[in-house]
Amino acid sequence: MLFKTPLLDKPAPGWKHDLPGPNEPPSTEPYPPVLTNPPNHIDDVYLELARATIRMRGIGILLTPFMFLLFCMAPTALISYVIDTGNIPPLTPSIFLIIAGAITLWAGMYFWRMDTSAPRDEPIRFNRARRKVYV
């Protein structure tokens, strides 16, 4: 598809190109600046675009040990307080440490799962024959 002048005198903000008219055959060649990833499938009936949920991988595996270390620090702090003083720790810091430990455990498991499980391909399909979009 070659670059053409816009059909409107003043194109809308973010205008890239116009869609083909009702009697023009659809182009099967994607316009390079619009589609950065190649489509999964193109034919006369439908166009299927890949849509990944995660772009960066590897960061979660680096963050997970740090999160689990933080999770282990909360019970360790409470136990060391009891051993040092012989008293039960105050209620407010104890609740804060338990909630912080639960959040870091959840975040560590979340980072690990997002990095080690394979990302699902969630394609978007534009069906020309039925004039529907399937997500």
Matching residue, tokens 């959040």: 103
pLDDT score at 33: 57
Model-level pTM? Answer: 0.49
Mean pLDDT of 25-31: 64
Whole-number Å distance between alpha carbons of 80 and 8: 72
pLDDT score at 44: 78
Eight-state DSSP code of residue 125 = E
- Both tokens of 15, joined, read 């205008």
Question: Cα–Cα distances in Å, from 98 out to 83, 121, 135?
Answer: 18, 37, 40
Indicate if the pLDDT at residue 31 is higher than 70: no
Matching residue, tokens 């005198």: 9
Mean pLDDT of 119-127: 72
Chain segment 64-101, per-residue pLDDT in tens: 888 888 888 888 888 898 899 988 888 888 898 889 88
pLDDT score at 119: 61
Indicate if the pLDDT at residue 34 is higher than 70: no
Looking at every residue in the chain, the average pLDDT score rounds to 78
Indicate if the pLDDT at residue 120 is higher than 70: no
Whole-number Å distance between alpha carbons of 129 and 84: 75
